[in-house]
Amino acid sequence: MAGLKLTSSEALFERAVQIMPGGVNSPVRAFKAVGGKPVFIENAKGQYLYDVDGNRYTDYIGSWGPMILGHSDERILEAVVKQIQKGISYGTSSALEVEMAELIIEMVPVLEMVRMVNSGTEAVMSAVRAARGFTGRDKIIKFEGCYHGHADTLLVKAGSGVMTAGVPDSIGVPKGCAKDTLTAEYNNLESVKALFAENYNKIACVIVEPVAANMGLVLPEKGFLTGLRKLCDDNGTLLLFDEVITGFRLKADGASGYYGVKPDIVTYGKIIGAGMPVGAYGGRKDVMSVVAPLGNVYQAGTLSGNPIAMCAGITQLKILKDSPEIYTYVDKLGKRFRDGVQKVFKEYKKQVNVSGIGSLSCIYFTQNKVCDYRTAKTSDTEEFAKYFTHMLSKGNYFGPSQFEAIFISAAHTSKDIDKTLEDITEYIVNSNSNKRF
Ligand code: HOZ
């Protein structure tokens, strides 16, 4: 409107949309699903994000998971600053890579060999190639609503931003790339069995988020993961756990440790680099031995094992390994949040479905039990948008989509959670009185 001064975030967004698709470098950041304009972050410390207009937000995304210790942890900053003096990128081997591999393998017993890459997308893309190379089979099974990054093969009925945008599949993915990707229903072993029966001896791997954290947050029902393990064993198929979200977050040994199910390959993302652009895939030695130069599955990268990223990651992982009380603490806060949300919505007779495990949560605006993609989609996304807008205005930064998870870090306090619960209460009171947001 003429005469109205733009905030610094608004001014930045006006510039950004001219020269970046949608004004962002990752779709969900554009706030398309929730309306309004994105805020631009200037810095982050502990549990808080600070925007360019000087507003402070309690951060419930934690860079989509990796900031489990909170932002700008002094121990990580100090290690990184020291390492930077020694060079930013070598493009050749360093001791840090060996230290990182040894550390991950020590922390996650199902891993025997690992390869570092630069993102979760790259990790999954490479792991699927290794699974295909190892088995000599082309087809893979994924689950509707699970998100495994944006590689062509995996952008089929994907969760996260794809689900937020309401497009089942991305255009630009050649049919040939997606034809070997079969989709089953999460928490439905029968749907997996049917695909195995129709594709006898053709399935290289079943890839699954052991806790589906990209269609909100859907927990595996009892027997689902063990059932997948058995089906894979019966069919000579590899089981691939995508632990980009759950790795080192549910527990130091991730979902495989939490549920006691042993996958053949595991993929990780940014948490391995304490938020730096890092990913990794690893697993059984015989499977990983197909990766070049040991085997003939080609995969490479100049930035893989980057010394700064390794140094940040090693520092964070060591803290997590040596301080199991961190998990007890964040899990307790996660429970406090979920119990509080349930209590206030119940008190004001508003039906929501709150899901969660440890420090991960999701509030679905639906009366239905959410167990898969179809039921997650029953959530009222318009109501979510109103809720999101109110919460942001009160200084709470949640993912700007119904289909992203809520993350709590070790820097959060019960006071933060209680303040957020007060803001939720205010949202409910206002929405009950039909107040416009
Ligand atoms: N959709 C991504 C998380 N599941 C968000 C990536 C980002 O915008 O940083």
119: Cβ below 6 Å to ligand 1? no
Q: What are phi and psi of 378, to 5 degrees?
A: -80, -5
Are the C-beta atoms of residues 145 and 376 closer than 8 Å to each other? yes
Spatial CA neighbour of 420 closest among 404, 406, 431 = 406
- Cα separation, 359 vs 43, in Å, equals 23
CATH entry, 74-322, from 2.60.40.10, 3.40.640.10, 3.40.50.620, 3.40.50.300: 3.40.640.10
* Whole-structure pTM value: 0.96
Whole-number Å distance, alpha carbon 362 to ligand 1 midpoint, is: 15
CA of 181 to the centre of ligand 1 (A): 22
Pocket test for ligand 1, best of 32, 39, 63, 64 (most atoms within 8 A of CB): 64
Residue 331 catalytic? no
* Cα–Cα distance for residue pair 226/252, rounded to 1 Å: 20
Q: How far is the CA of 160 from the centre of ligand 1 (A)?
A: 7
**Best mutation site among 32, 59, 148, 160 for ligand 1 pocket (most ligand atoms within 8 Å of CB):** 160
Q: What is the chain's percent helix, strand, coil content, to nearest 5? A: 40, 15, 45
Catalytic annotation present for 415: no
The widest CA-to-CA distance across the chain, in whole angstroms, is 69
Per-residue model confidence as pLDDT tens for the chain (437 residues): 556 799 999 999 999 999 999 999 999 999 999 999 999 999 999 999 999 999 999 999 999 999 999 999 999 999 999 999 999 999 999 999 999 999 999 999 999 999 999 999 999 999 999 999 999 999 999 999 999 999 998 988 887 777 766 565 788 888 888 899 999 999 999 999 999 999 999 999 999 999 999 999 999 999 999 999 999 999 999 999 999 999 999 999 999 999 999 999 999 999 999 999 999 999 999 999 999 999 999 999 999 999 999 999 999 999 999 999 999 999 999 999 999 999 999 998 888 999 999 999 999 999 999 999 999 999 999 999 999 999 999 999 999 999 999 999 999 999 999 999 999 999 999 987 755 44
> Which atom of ligand 1 has the smallest separation from the CA of 245?
4
Taking the CA of residue 26 as reference, the ligand 1 atom at the shortest distance is: 8
Please state the atom number of ligand 1 nearest to the C-alpha of residue 27: 8
CA distances from 398 to 23, 98, 385 (A): 19, 36, 11
Mutate to test the pocket of ligand 1, among 20, 24, 28, 360 (most ligand atoms within 8 A of CB): 28
> What are the φ and ψ backbone dihedral angles of 247, each rounded to 5 degrees?
-60, 130
CATH code matching the domain that covers 30-60+325-430, chosen among 3.40.1080.10, 3.40.50.300, 3.65.10.10, 3.90.1150.10: 3.90.1150.10
147 catalytic? Reply is yes
For the chain, which residues make up each domain, given as ranges? 30-60+325-430, 74-322
